[in-house]
Amino acid sequence: CKILKCNSEFWSTTSNSHHHTGAEDSVEFCTALRTYAHCTRRTARYCRGDLAYHSAVHGIDDLMSQHNCSKDGPTSQPRVRTPPPWDSQERSDSPEICHYEKNFHRHSATPNYTHCGLFGD
Instruction: Report d(CA 50, CA 2) in Å as an integer.
Output: 10
Task: Report 6-35 residues binding other proteins (CB under 8 A).
Answer: none
d(CA 68, CA 62): 10
In the shown chain, the binding pattern of residues 48 to 87 toward other proteins, with x for contact by CB under 8 A and - for none, equals: ------------------------------x---------
Interacting residues with other proteins between 91 and 110 (CB under 8 A): 91, 93-95, 97-101, 104
Q: How far is the CB of 103 from other proteins (least distance, A)?
A: 9
Please tell me the distance from the alpha carbon of residue 62 to that of residue 75, in angstroms, as a whole number.
18
Radius of gyration over every alpha carbon of the chain, rounded to an integer in angstroms: 18
Q: Is 117 an interacting residue with respect to other proteins (CB under 8 A)?
A: yes
**For other proteins, which is the closer residue by CB, 18 or 41?**
41
Nearer to other proteins, 2 or 20 (CB): 2
Long-range residue pairs from 67-70, CB within 8 A, at least 24 positions apart, any chain? 67/20, 67/26, 67/29, 67/30, 67/33, 68/26, 69/29, 69/30, 69/33, 69/34, 70/30
Residues forming contacts to other proteins in the complex (CB under 8 A) are 38, 41-42, 78, 90-91, 93-95, 97-101, 104, 111-121
